Amino acid sequence: MAEHIDRSESQRSLDLITLGRAGIDLYGEQIGGRLEDMASFAKYVGGSPTNTAVGGARLGLNTALITRVGHDHFGHFLIEELAREGVETSGMIVDPDRLTALAVLGIRDPDTFPLIFFRENCADMALTAEDIDPALIARARALLVNGTHLSQPGVFAASLKAAELMKAQGGQVVFDIDYRPVLWGLASKANGEDRFVASGRVTQELQRILPLCDLIVGTEEEIHILGGTTDTVAALRAIRARTTALLVCKRGAEGCVAFPGGVPDSLDDGVVGRGFPIEVFNVLGAGDAFMAGFLRGWLRDLPLETCCELANACGALVVSRHGCAPAMASWDELQVFLAGTWPHRLRDSAELEQLHWSSNRHLDHDDLTVLAIDHRSQFEDLIAELGVGDAKAVAHFKNLALKAVDRMAKGDRRYGLLLDGRFGARALEAAADLPYWIGRPIEEPGSRPIAFEGSPDVAATLREWPINHVVKCLVFYHPDDDAEMRARQDRQILRLFDACRTTRHEFLLEIIASKHGPVDSDTIARVIDHVYGLGVYPDWWKLEPTSDPQAWAASQAAILRHDPRCRGIVLLGLSAPQEEILAGIAAAAPFSLVKGFAVGRTIFQDVAARWLRQEIDDDGAVQQLTANLRVLADGWRAARDSRAAA
Ligand SMILES: Nc1ncnc2c1ncn2[C@@H]1O[C@H](COP(=O)(O)OP(=O)(O)OP(=O)(O)O)[C@@H](O)[C@H]1O
Ligand SMILES: O=C(O)C[C@@H](O)[C@H](O)C(=O)CO
């Protein structure tokens, strides 16, 4: 029995429901080689209708997905990731008896994209008509059905039922012909990438859905299979004889052409929109992005030329990137793309890539209170000073810190921890099951010029970190440092930023200037300007508290000038007494980019010393850590509330 989970997170009305396959794409990370020679794979959300649901959500459509996923890690990932993308997941059924589908993909050369489907008896192909919840369909104005699924009787019945319900309520049915011969048993199992094998049976099955359709989208080859002939105009006319739907033919680099009525003798005489020919990096997913872009226009009643333009732009952006779903454009990104001029090798545009990253980042953290306990040398010093304790004890204490945060936060995602991999590895592992924000230091403690822990290749170190660990790097940086010191630190910061983007980790840059020179109202703003000038866009800044409002105003203005989408600033503590931290919080709180704090020793130093000396036990330590954290968190929230009130 499949499990229906109540994930009706909202009862909002939906623009679009997509129906069909949802799987994992394992995407070869090496470019230009055979799948045989791939060494590593990136894990992404995949499956054509799922990609379109993500693409549509990023463009501002309210989307939902009807599918089945396995009761396995990948199935859970799909549900979690789609929820993060803003796709409603209440129609995603967990199938206890089947595994989540899998596709392995590679970028061999600009014309070859090997693809292997692992989808025999997989969860999404077991979708049945009973899985269609009329109440969910009733909330939407359009349904997207994919042709590939019509190869399975159960999925066919599910698609038909959903489409009939949609029609009955006056909604619109969209058909992505989406022909994958291998899934009809017409190509060898290893040739998932084959796009065309003529088959009267497939044509007949696909045509059964035509009377229900309002919009039909396909490549020329897909038009051929649906129309039953390899003459494109004749195929379009054969389709037109069976439906009044708007027909859209995708033409790769040439864009697309649409036929709202009769089909002219030449394809070029249909309706077209602006195209964006760019250098092909990866065509996989372009069609799904195209569909999302087209629907963003069509479901908002924009002119047909505009629908085609939006679709072409979305397709082009995906052609320039690795991955299908993660490559989809946000609405803001699309606007900037449409308004600008770009290199033919689109992926060379750092501006677009940064915009893509920052406008598609998941979850807002508008309020963040973090216990920073990533200290390493300070714990070594403490042990040496007290003459008690060892690395094992420190590791245990870091677990207590996690317990303290959990006790205080009780699942509230506004809390977090900074934990290191040296003493905090066990706590980091335990934190994986909890919902809190996790930051992790990469810097060699106290290093200046900044050096990184682990491999000399920092990207190699980050590859071993779970994707949700925010990379924190403390740099002792003063704008008046000598030129050589600055140049060496700049190179390292740039290297780290590049590594973070490569491995898809968020980056928190902590700047401490006060230890290496005088600090006035524009010292930190000068550092911030300089860092952006390097082409480095930290997701987060961690900055020293100051009671000088001009300094805060200058820092905030510098960040907003370069990166209005920056997640924000958290305050650091520098071991200051509690009252001083509270005063620092109060001074910073009026500035909207300040999102909270990441404070350590003020919260844990005395508790750690007493615990190491065995003056308090584990529970006592957790209690005191919780109490100290609570004072600062309450102080922050009170200050933040008065900001909101002002
Ligand atoms: N080289 C390119 N330059 C610009 N735009 C492109 C390029 N290739 C594809 N596109 C855009 O993406 C759209 C879809 O691409 P394509 O025709 O390859 O679809 P598809 O075969 O369905 O893709 P998929 O691999 O996702 O199945 C095109 O209609 C066009 O708008
Ligand atoms: O649609 C599929 O099943 C294949 C995908 O997993 C992949 O995302 C793709 O090729 C999208 O067109």
DSSP label at residue 147: G
In degrees, to the nearest 5, what angle opens at C-alpha 62 toward C-alphas 56 and 65?
75
Ligand 1 centroid to Cα of residue 230, in Å, is: 19
Task: Tell the residue nearest (CA) to atom 12 of ligand 2.
Answer: 285
Ligand 1 centroid to Cα of residue 138, in Å, is: 32
Q: pLDDT band at residue 365, thresholds of 50, 70 and 90? A: confident
- Ligand 2: does its nearest atom lie under 6 Å from the Cβ of 420? no
ipTM: 0.92
Q: pLDDT tens for residues 464-493?
A: 999 999 999 999 999 999 999 999 999 999
Sorted by sequence, the CB contacts under 8 Å of residue 42 that are 6+ apart come out as 26, 27, 29, 322, 323
CATH 3.20.20.70: which residues of the chain? 372-394+406-484+500-522+536-551+570-645
Q: pLDDT band at residue 12, thresholds of 50, 70 and 90? A: low
Q: How high is the pLDDT of residue 203?
A: 98
Q: Specify the 3-state DSSP secondary structure of 597.
A: strand
Residue of 175, 176, 247, 283 to test ligand 1 pocket, by largest number of atoms within 8 Å of CB: 283
Task: Tell the residue nearest (CA) to atom 9 of ligand 1.
Answer: 252
Q: Strand 16-19 and strand 246-250: pairing?
A: unpaired
Q: pLDDT band at residue 2, thresholds of 50, 70 and 90? A: low
Q: Strand 246-250 and strand 368-373: pairing?
A: unpaired
Q: How high is the pLDDT of residue 1?
A: 43
Helix H segments across 64-133?
Answer: 73-85
Ligand 1 centroid to Cα of residue 218, in Å, is: 10
Task: Work out which ligand 1 atom sits closest to the CA atom of 254.
Answer: 30
Element of type H or E holding 27: strand 23-31
Determine the average pLDDT of the residues in 176-196: 94
Q: Please choose, from the candidates 240, 238, 212, the residue with its C-alpha nearest in 3D space to the C-alpha of residue 227.
A: 238
Q: pLDDT tens for residues 21-39?
A: 999 999 999 999 999 999 9
Q: pLDDT band at residue 448, thresholds of 50, 70 and 90? A: very high
- Ligand 2: does its nearest atom lie under 6 Å from the Cβ of 255? no
Q: Please choose, from the candidates 130, 145, 250, 258, the residue with its C-alpha nearest in 3D space to the C-alpha of residue 208.
A: 145
Ligand 2 centroid to Cα of residue 47, in Å, is: 4
Task: Tell the residue nearest (CA) to atom 27 of ligand 1.
Answer: 287
Task: Tell the residue nearest (CA) to atom 3 of ligand 2.
Answer: 47
Q: How high is the pLDDT of residue 642?
A: 87
CATH 3.40.1190.20: which residues of the chain? 15-359
Task: Work out which ligand 1 atom sits closest to the CA atom of 324.
Answer: 26
Q: How high is the pLDDT of residue 4?
A: 44
Structure tokens that stand for 271 in this block: 């309706």
Determine the average pLDDT of the residues in 107-125: 94
Determine the average pLDDT of the residues in 107-117: 93
pLDDT of 570 above 50: yes
Ligand 2 centroid to Cα of residue 283, in Å, is: 11
- Ligand 1: does its nearest atom lie under 6 Å from the Cβ of 286? yes
Structure tokens that stand for 595 in this block: 């999102």
Report phi then psi at 368, rounded to 5: -145, 120
Q: pLDDT band at residue 10, thresholds of 50, 70 and 90? A: low
Q: pLDDT band at residue 8, thresholds of 50, 70 and 90? A: very low
Q: Please choose, from the candidates 334, 317, 303, the residue with its C-alpha nearest in 3D space to the C-alpha of residue 61.
A: 334
Residue type, 383: I
pLDDT of 130 above 90: yes
Ligand 2 centroid to Cα of residue 102, in Å, is: 9
Mean pLDDT of the chain: 96
Topology of domain 15-359 in CATH is UDP-N-acetylmuramoyl-L-alanine:D-glutamate ligase (3.40.1190)
- Ligand 1: does its nearest atom lie under 6 Å from the Cβ of 285? yes
Q: Please choose, from the candidates 254, 294, 301, the residue with its C-alpha nearest in 3D space to the C-alpha of residue 274.
A: 254
- Ligand 2: does its nearest atom lie under 6 Å from the Cβ of 122? no
Structure tokens that stand for 216 in this block: 């039909």
Q: Please choose, from the candidates 268, 270, 271, 266, the residue with its C-alpha nearest in 3D space to the C-alpha of residue 309.
A: 271
pLDDT of 143 above 70: yes
Q: C-alpha distances in angstroms, 282 versus 247, 315, 388, 439, 634? A: 25, 11, 58, 33, 50
- Ligand 2: does its nearest atom lie under 6 Å from the Cβ of 21? yes
- Ligand 1: does its nearest atom lie under 6 Å from the Cβ of 151? no
Distance CA(245)–CA(260), nearest Å, equals: 7
Task: Tell the residue nearest (CA) to atom 16 of ligand 1.
Answer: 252
Q: Are 109 and 32 in contact (CB under 8 A)?
A: yes
Q: Strand 256-259 and strand 246-250: pairing?
A: antiparallel
Q: How high is the pLDDT of residue 93?
A: 98
Ligand 2 centroid to Cα of residue 253, in Å, is: 19
Determine the average pLDDT of the residues in 203-212: 97
**Of all residues in the chain, what percent carry a pLDDT higher than 70?**
98
Sorted by sequence, the CB contacts under 8 Å of residue 393 that are 6+ apart come out as 383, 612
Kindly compute the dihedral angle of the four CA atoms of residues 144, 147, 153, 156, in this order, to the nearest 10 degrees: 20
Neighbours of 229 (CB within 10 A): 17
Q: pLDDT band at residue 149, thresholds of 50, 70 and 90? A: confident
pTM for the full model?
0.95
Task: Tell the residue nearest (CA) to atom 11 of ligand 1.
Answer: 315
Task: Tell the residue nearest (CA) to atom 1 of ligand 1.
Answer: 253
Residue given tokens 């990370």 in the structure block: 29
Residue of 25, 127, 145 to test ligand 2 pocket, by largest number of atoms within 8 Å of CB: 25
Residue of 284, 291, 319 to test ligand 2 pocket, by largest number of atoms within 8 Å of CB: 284
pLDDT of 5 above 70: no
pLDDT of 197 above 70: yes
Ligand 1 centroid to Cα of residue 156, in Å, is: 26
Q: pLDDT tens for residues 32-85?
A: 999 999 999 999 999 999 999 999 999 999 999 999 999 999 999 999 999 999
- Ligand 1: does its nearest atom lie under 6 Å from the Cβ of 110? no
Ligand 1 centroid to Cα of residue 264, in Å, is: 23
pLDDT of 218 above 80: yes
Task: Tell the residue nearest (CA) to atom 2 of ligand 2.
Answer: 47
pLDDT of 7 above 80: no
Residue of 25, 117, 219 to test ligand 1 pocket, by largest number of atoms within 8 Å of CB: 219
Residue type, 417: L
Which of the four CATH numbers 1.10.3720.10, 3.40.50.300, 3.20.20.70, 1.20.120.530 does domain 372-394+406-484+500-522+536-551+570-645 have? 3.20.20.70
- Ligand 2: does its nearest atom lie under 6 Å from the Cβ of 46? yes
DSSP label at residue 14: B
Ligand 1 centroid to Cα of residue 280, in Å, is: 9
Evaluate the CA torsion angle 330, 332, 337, 338 in order and state its sign: positive
pLDDT of 108 above 70: yes
pLDDT of 271 above 80: yes
Give 361-365 contacts, CB < 8 A, sequence gap 24+. 361/506, 361/539, 361/565, 361/567, 362/84, 362/85, 363/84, 363/413, 364/567, 365/413, 365/414, 365/437, 365/567, 365/568, 365/595
- Ligand 2: does its nearest atom lie under 6 Å from the Cβ of 285? yes
Q: pLDDT tens for residues 156-166?
A: 999 999 999 99
Determine the average pLDDT of the residues in 411-427: 97
* Inter-axis angle of helices 523-533 and 549-562, nearest 10: 10
Residue of 119, 183, 288 to test ligand 2 pocket, by largest number of atoms within 8 Å of CB: 288
- Ligand 2: does its nearest atom lie under 6 Å from the Cβ of 315? no
- Ligand 1: does its nearest atom lie under 6 Å from the Cβ of 55? no
Determine the average pLDDT of the residues in 80-98: 97
Neighbours of 487 (CB within 10 A): 12
- Ligand 1: does its nearest atom lie under 6 Å from the Cβ of 313? no
Q: Are 420 and 412 in contact (CB under 8 A)?
A: no
* Inter-axis angle of helices 48-58 and 73-85, nearest 10: 30
pLDDT of 424 above 90: yes
Task: Tell the residue nearest (CA) to atom 11 of ligand 2.
Answer: 285
Q: Please choose, from the candidates 309, 314, 284, 292, the residue with its C-alpha nearest in 3D space to the C-alpha of residue 55.
A: 292
